[in-house]
Amino acid sequence: EADIYQTPRYLVIGTGKKITLECSQTMGHDKMYWYQQDPGMELHLIHYSYGVNSTEKGDLSSESTVSRIRTEHFPLTLESARPSHTSQYLCASIFGVEQFFGPGTRLTVL
Amino acid sequence: KQEVTQIPAALSVPEGENLVLNCSFTDSAIYNLQWFRQDPGKGLTSLLLIQSSQREQTSGRLNASLDKSSGRSTLYIAASQPGDSATYLCAVRSLSEKLVFGKGTKLTVNP
């Protein structure tokens, strides 16, 4: 089973601030993903990466950006947070054929 | 475009009952199907994964089936317990390796 870490777990921040959500895994998985989940709604893929220096946008358009400089880390950045960014952000990686998820970051933008 | 539907959206049962959660998908060209559990405010825990060539998988009191040709999967929970209360998500992995999720079934098991 994969261990995927996300920090912070909860974040309340004001409009216009720049934020970075951290995601890391120590298993050396190449494929990593970011999902966004609004309360009571399904998960939507916003970014994914198949390895170092590889990033792609997902099915749901997002104003966030990601980077993959190291295999273990897949941080997500919002340059200027807005209330519409309030949501839960879930990071995942694939181990074999199975996808595993981190605990998520619940973001609230005031 | 793959679409995943889960029925019912919510289910409340007394402890001890056997129950079935349903998942349907529109495109049968899938790589695998995965059932997850999500507790409030938490991440997702993988329960069962069925490869496209398989018909079912079992883990403890859980049994998941897959009928790829009809685009359906079911998650059977035997002898439900209050600790089973959570939202259950079905996700289909396409040949492009992206997961498409349903909205989930919120299960409440009453003591």
Question: For all residues of chain B together, what is the average pLDDT?
Answer: 94
Residue B96, pLDDT above cutoff 80:
no
Q: Measured between CB atoms, does A78 come within 8 Å of chain B?
A: no
* Closest chain A residue to the Cα of B38, Cα to Cα: A103
More confident residue, B97 or A60: A60
Q: Measured between CB atoms, does A57 come within 8 Å of chain B?
A: no
Chain A nearest CA to B106, separation (Å): 9
* Mean pLDDT on B44-58: 94
Task: Write out chain A's pLDDT in tens, 110 residues.
Answer: 558 999 999 999 999 999 999 999 988 899 999 999 998 788 999 999 999 999 999 888 889 999 999 999 999 999 999 999 999 999 999 887 888 899 999 999 99
Residue B110, pLDDT above cutoff 60:
yes
- Supply the DSSP symbol for A24: E
Q: What is the pLDDT of residues B52-79, one digit of tens each?
A: 999 999 999 999 999 999 999 999 999 9
- Supply the DSSP symbol for A23: E
At residue A32, the 3 state secondary structure works out as: strand
In sequence order, the 6+-apart residues with CB closer than 8 A to the CB of B6 are B21, B22, B23, B24, B88, B89, B90, B102, B103, B104, B105
* Mean pLDDT on B14-19: 97
Is A42's CB within 8 Å of B103's CB?
yes
How many contacts does A have with B, using Cβ atoms within 8 A?
A: 54
Torsion of CA A53, A58, B92, A7, to 10 degrees: 70
